Amino acid sequence: MEISKIRPPSWYPLQQVKGELSLGELLEIAKKRIDFLVSWKAGEIPDDSLDYLKNNALGNLALCIASAVTDDAYFRNWLLETEADFFATMFKKASPSAKLGILNKVFGGIIVGLSGVSEYLNVSSDFILNELATIRRVKKESFNQLVGTFEGFSVAAARFEKAYKIIRKESGLLLGGWVVAPLIEFFRIVKACFQSIMEQRIREIRKRIMGGNKKEVYEGYAQEVIAYWRGKRAKFVTAKSYVSSGSKLWQRPHLFPPCSRILYDKFMATGYIPHGERVQLALFLKGLGMPLEEQLKFWYKAVDNMGISWDNYLRKGGYYIRHIYGLEGSRKDYSPPKCETIISRYFCPFSKLDSSSLREVLKKINPKITSGALDRIIDACIIHEFTRACTMFLESITGKTLRRGFISHPLQFVRILSIYEKKKGGGNKRAKVP
Ligand code: SF4
């Protein structure tokens, strides 16, 4: 059967949805999808007799509409991550033909099989095998054997604009606007591509609704969806709340630099921050000396782990925490990144936030900061002097000028602030910054 004729399985959340529904009906579907996603245990295949699977595509659309209209970043990140995790789990367990149906949809058409790719692109099979073997640094004969033995090594091709991630990872060949690689490389990027399609879907819905005349009606709908979602999370956060008052440095967020403080507050308030920010905060807390057990408990309250037993969490969700403590994977004992790395790869408010949001968060952390100091900080950010801006913010708290250079590491910020607090007599004398 031609791959273009294989339809994705019925659970695939991004299929076209036809028919008409009232907003009340859509709201019910959105709530059911939220119930499902927050109670779904990561990695588990749901029983397909369940009702929500029949409404997978509609449920996804209902939540995409809510995300598009409110533009709530927390909700959007949660939705994209959770839907992508669910998609990846289902994809992994799908039959080979269902997988091809999904790849065909996600990549907007895919050719599978060496002879088909060679014929379509008018390039000899020998050339393709040679080039792919070189990319994988194996002999052509060995690669040939892999292609003939394992289905995952069948040669496949998709258009560059959909599969460019394979080229970026240097795992495939670019031939006349097509990416040619073993099928397994397409499997590796399918989750990220699914997420990009969802993001695109949200952007398009936003454009359509904001440009139409039913904007206000949809806004009301979206607010109800987000309120329902928040309610679900609040229940969970209260149930498993982490108590952060104590004498240890990781229990004293008022000493944290703005990057970690914002992530910490966001997580405590909503129970959710995206993966990259979780890694950043986890490394920072580890750098402050937070023991592994404590850190596992801290993250256990995450909304994504809702419904997971402690034992199950330790096996699944706790993996990346153990990883950064050097107990899993490469067993490398990771250190918290310095400012330079955070600015280019993670979350530093001075580089990531716009002027008015930055003013707002800094004022929240230090209500006594003057407008003059805020103006100077914003000026420094405009010319990309982010660590200088952070230093000025620290000075706005201590009232003292930092003599040597600028802040270069989040732990340095904590060290200076904790010394200042001790001198003032308000801090805990035993707290030591590692
Ligand atoms: Fe954090 Fe460094 Fe940015 Fe300050 S400059 S907020 S310490 S990353």
CA within 13 Å, CB half, 18: 0
Computed from CA positions of residues 294, 299, 301, 307, in that sequence, does the dihedral angle turn out positive or negative?
negative
- The answer to whether 433 touches 288, Cβ cutoff 8 Å, is yes
pLDDT at residue 371 is higher than 80: yes
Ligand 1 pocket test: which of 390, 395, 409 has the largest number of ligand atoms within 8 Å of its C-beta?
A: 390
User: In this predicted structure, what is the pLDDT of residue 316?
Assistant: 61
Distance (Å, whole) CA 54 – CA 42: 20
Instruction: Please give the full DSSP string across 244-273, using - where no structure is assigned.
Output: --SSSGGG-GGGS-HHHHHHHHHHHHHS--
> Is the pLDDT confidence value at 244 over 60?
no
Of 169-183, 288-302, 314-328, which has the strongest mean pLDDT? Answer: 169-183
What's the rounded mean pLDDT across residues 403-426? 88
Both tokens of 389, joined, read 């801006």
Task: Kindly give the distance from the C-alpha atom of residue 408 to the centroid of ligand 1, in angstroms, as a whole number.
Answer: 7
Which residues have C-beta atoms less than 6 Å from ligand 1? Answer: 257-259, 339, 342, 348-350, 386-387, 390, 407, 410, 413
Rounded average pLDDT over 24-48: 82
- Write down the pLDDT at residue 144: 83
CA dihedral 297, 299, 304, 307 (to 10 degrees): 10
Distance, CA 387 to ligand 1 centroid (Å)?
Answer: 6
Specify the range with the lowest mean pLDDT, choosing from 76-80, 241-245, 355-359, 416-420.
Answer: 241-245
CB atoms within 10 A of CB 35: 14
Residue type at 320 in one-letter notation: Y
Determine the 3-state secondary structure of 21 from DSSP: coil
Q: What is the pLDDT of residue 395?
A: 96
Q: What is the pLDDT of residue 42?
A: 64
Q: Looking at the CA of residue 386, tell me the nearest atom of ligand 1.
A: 5
- Euclidean distance between CA atoms 361 and 373, whole angstroms: 14
- Distance between Cα 338 and ligand 1 center (Å): 8
Name the residue at shortest CA distance from atom 2 of ligand 1: 339
Most confident by average pLDDT, 2-16, 70-84, 165-179, 419-433? 165-179
Average pLDDT over every residue of 247-262:
92
In the predicted structure, residue 72 carries a pLDDT above the cut 80: no
Q: Which DSSP category does 369 fall into?
A: -
Mean pLDDT of 333-349: 92
Kindly report, residue by residue over 375-398, the tens digit of the pLDDT. Answer: 999 999 999 999 999 999 999 999
Predicted pLDDT of residue 243: 42
Q: Does the structure show a pLDDT above 50 at 345?
A: yes
Q: What is the distance between the alpha carbons of residues 321 and 137, in angstroms, rounded to a whole number?
A: 33
Q: Pick from 98, 76, 97: which is nearest to 87 by CA?
A: 98
Do 419 and 408 form a contact (C-beta atoms < 8 A)? no
Residue nearest to atom 3 of ligand 1 (CA): 348
Average pLDDT, rounded, for the chain: 84
Contacts of 269 (CB under 8 A, 6+ apart): none
Alpha helices in 51-159 (DSSP H): 51-54, 56-70, 73-93, 96-106, 114-121, 125-135, 140-149
What is the distance in A from the centroid of ligand 1 to the CA of 389?
Answer: 9
Show contacts of 427-430: CB within 8 Å, 24+ apart. 428/247, 428/252, 430/247
Please give the pLDDT value at position 317.
62
Percent of the chain with pLDDT over 90: 46
Query: Is the per-residue pLDDT at 64 higher than 90?
Result: yes
Among 165-169, 267-271, 365-369, the range scoring the smallest mean pLDDT is: 267-271
Mean pLDDT for 48-63 is 75
Dump pLDDT digits (tens) for 123-170: 999 999 999 989 888 888 888 888 877 877 889 999 999 999 899 888
Please classify residue 241 by burial: count the beta carbons closer than 10 Å to its beta carbon, then call 0-12 exposed, 13-18 middle and 19+ buried.
Answer: exposed
Position 176, amino acid: G
d(CA 260, CA 279): 11
Q: What is the mean pLDDT of residues 74-90?
A: 84
Contact 334, 287 (CB under 8 A): no
Q: How far away, in angstroms, is 280 Cα from ligand 1 center?
A: 11
Whose Cα sits closest to atom 6 in ligand 1?
Answer: 259
pLDDT of 260 higher than 90: yes
Q: Which two tokens stand for residue 173?
A: 């060949």
Residue of 413, 414, 416 with the most ligand 1 atoms within 8 Å of its CB, for mutation: 413
Pick the atom of ligand 1 nearest to 346's CA: 8
Nearest to 45 by CA among 100, 98, 85: 85
pLDDT of residue 186: 93
In the block, residue with structure tokens 């099989």: 113
Top pLDDT among 403 and 211 is at 211
Which of 340, 344, 386 gets mutated to test ligand 1 (max ligand atoms within 8 A of its CB)?
Answer: 386
Tell me which residue has its CA closest to atom 8 in ligand 1.
339
What's the gap in Å between 381 CA and the centre of ligand 1?
12
* Backbone φ, ψ for residue 190 (5° rounding): -65, -35
Residue 334 has pLDDT above 90, yes or no: no
Q: pLDDT class for 51, splitting at 50, 70, 90?
A: low
Distance of CA 384 from the midpoint of ligand 1 (Å): 13
Whether residue 239 is predicted with pLDDT greater than 50 in this model: the reply is no
Q: State pLDDT tens for residues 272-315.
A: 788 889 899 999 999 998 888 788 888 876 544 455 556 666 66
Greatest mean pLDDT among 191-195, 210-214, 320-324, 374-378 lies in 374-378
* The pLDDT value given to residue 431: 47
| Tokens standing for residue 151 | 């289905």
The Cα angle at residue 404 between residues 403 and 409, in degrees rounded to 5: 120
Q: Which residue has the least CA distance to atom 4 on ligand 1? A: 390
Atom of ligand 1 nearest to the CA of 410: 7
